[in-house]
């Protein structure tokens, strides 16, 4: 019995020690702007998430092979480990509660998914753990949203969504072209891109050469993400406009399909120093309203303006998901709440895409995706 309790205590402390630094990464880093200090802290916290469990196992093994005897000998150690157990307990309770509650039913929306894998070429760089790494298993998500009172001429409006290319060595232009080809095959009326175009400036040509193949009768619209502000917001803006795309840098437009109007807005306030200014979101209008944002953290702010749909990326779905536990690292002030998928607050829907690229190049049980939204 003692052995079982000791193993349980050690296991829960190790998992808590893994999760606690990652929780700090999730919450704190979605507020801090990018800097060398932030990058240093981030690496330190990721390292701690591995060092703490390894150190605990070593400490337990070297002191009579029991963590209980270690604790009784050193109360300071107990105080150090208690937060790890609390973290483990908080995550476990939250997961059990989420599973018991089940997925909320959103009757006006339905989702169907199919996978369109990218076929690797001999010249592509190898990937880490190819048997379980899903970075090239691109999902096509079809989200159908029924809107009460939608103008009959807008029924069937198709909106293509691409996000988080993170173009680099592994998420290279050949893979992006695969995603571009898939979205073009859907013949969307308009296309929205919600940021994080490249990981480094040197991939800018590759990225925008591929994006030049996008076309849609009602236009292509974009907002920039945190990586774009880090790489160079002005440079990204120039590239977007050079292709004839429209940068929705805190703008609202009235678009028309067969002369019937609807509203498309974009927000980038999260990455700026200015206080949020969302007055342009036309909360009084009864027209169909779609908002592009990079991060789901903007959703609670936008709900007050009654958009029908807010669509974004940023979280990459957590990239690494575990059976039962789901994702662990989600860069959001709301933790794992908006990691990916469809959500509803008041009368507004939020769709969080898992994105096309990733950073670093590893995904487990979390495929990349392109999304087609059909309004009916």
Q: Which residues bind Fe ion (CB under 5 A)?
A: 164, 196
Nearest to 314 by CA among 26, 48, 22: 26
Residue labelled with tokens 């120039």:
238
Least distance to Fe ion from the beta carbon of 295, Å? 9
Give me the least distance between CB of 195 and Fe ion, in Å please: 7
Which of 154, 180 has the CB closer to Fe ion?
Answer: 180
CB of 207 to Fe ion, least distance (A): 13
Shortest distance in whole angstroms from residue 319 CB to Fe ion = 10
State which residue, 139 or 164, has the beta carbon closest to Fe ion: 164
Q: How far is the CB of 346 from Fe ion (least distance, A)?
A: 27
> How would DSSP label each residue in 66-115?
-HHHHHHH-HHHHHHHHHHHHHHHHHHHHHHHHHHH-PPP-TTEEEEEEE
* Number of C-beta neighbours around residue 288 at 10 A: 23
In terms of CB distance, is 164 or 268 closer to Fe ion? 164
The residues, ordered by sequence, that sit 6+ positions from 211 with a Cβ below 8 Å of its Cβ are: 176, 180, 193, 243, 245
CB of 316 to Fe ion, least distance (A): 6
Query: Nearest Cα to 264, choosing from 222, 299, 314, 225?
Result: 222
As given in the structure block, the two tokens for residue 115 are 């996978």
- Using a 10 angstrom Cβ sphere, with 0-12 exposed, 13-18 middle and 19 or more buried, the burial of residue 43 is exposed
CB-hemisphere CA count at 13 Å for 139?
Answer: 21
Backbone angles phi, psi at 235, to 5 degrees: -60, -45
- Per the CB < 8 A criterion, the answer to whether 300 and 151 are in contact is no
Measured distance CA(305)–CA(117) in Å, rounded: 38
Q: Which CB sits closer to Fe ion, 16 or 225? A: 225
The smaller minimum CB distance to Fe ion, of residues 158 and 272, is found at 272
CB of 191 to Fe ion, least distance (A): 18
Shortest Cβ distance from residue 31 to Fe ion (Å)?
Answer: 16
In a 10 Å sphere around its CB, with 0-12 CB exposed, 13-18 middle and 19+ buried, how is residue 161 labelled?
buried
**In the beta sheet, which residues pair with residue 131?**
none
Q: Which is nearer to Fe ion, 20 or 179 (CB)?
A: 179
Of the pair 196, 298, the CB lying nearest Fe ion is at 196
Q: What is the DSSP string of 124-143?
A: SPP-SSTTT--TT--EEEEE
Nearer to Fe ion by C-beta: 164 or 250?
A: 164
């Amino acid at each position: 019995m003692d052995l079982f309790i000791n193993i349980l205590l050690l296991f829960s402390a190790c998992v808590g020690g893994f999760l606690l630094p990652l929780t700090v990464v999730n919450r704190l880093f979605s507020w801090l702007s990018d800097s060398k200090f932030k990058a240093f802290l981030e690496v330190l916290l990721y390292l701690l998430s591995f060092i703490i469990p390894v150190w605990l196992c070593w400490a337990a093994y070297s002191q009579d092979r029991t963590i209980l005897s270690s604790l009784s000998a050193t109360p300071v150690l107990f105080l150090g480990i208690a937060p790890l157990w609390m973290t483990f307990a908080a995550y476990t309770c939250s997961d059990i509660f989420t599973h018991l509650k089940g997925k909320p039913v959103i009757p006006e929306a339905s989702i169907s998914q199919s996978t369109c894998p990218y076929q690797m070429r001999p010249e592509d760089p190898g990937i880490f753990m190819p048997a379980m790494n899903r970075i090239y298993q691109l999902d096509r998500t079809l989200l159908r949203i029924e809107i009460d009172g939608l103008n009959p001429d807008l029924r069937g409006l198709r909106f293509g969504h691409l996000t988080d290319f993170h173009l680099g060595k592994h998420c290279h232009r050949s893979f992006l072209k695969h995603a571009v080809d898939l979205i073009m095959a859907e013949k969307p009326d308009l296309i929205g891109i919600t940021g994080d175009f490249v990981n480094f400036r040197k991939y800018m040509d590759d990225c925008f050469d591929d994006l030049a193949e996008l076309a849609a009768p009602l236009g292509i619209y974009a907002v920039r993400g945190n990586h774009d502000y880090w790489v160079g917001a002005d440079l990204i803006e120039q590239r977007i406009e050079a292709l004839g795309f429209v940068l929705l840098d805190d703008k609202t437009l009235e678009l028309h399909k067969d002369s019937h109007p609807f509203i498309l807005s974009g927000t980038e306030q999260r990455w700026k120093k200015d206080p949020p200014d969302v007055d342009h979101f036309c909360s009084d209008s009864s027209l169909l309203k779609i908002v592009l944002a990079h991060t789901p953290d903007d959703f609670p702010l936008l709900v007050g303006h009654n958009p029908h749909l807010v669509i974004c990326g940023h979280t990459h779905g957590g990239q690494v998901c575990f059976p039962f536990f789901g994702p662990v690292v989600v860069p959001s002030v709301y933790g794992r709440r908006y990691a990916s998928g469809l959500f509803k607050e008041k009368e507004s829907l939020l769709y969080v895409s898992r994105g096309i690229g990733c950073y670093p190049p590893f995904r487990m049980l979390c495929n990349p995706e392109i999304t087609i939204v059909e309004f009916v």
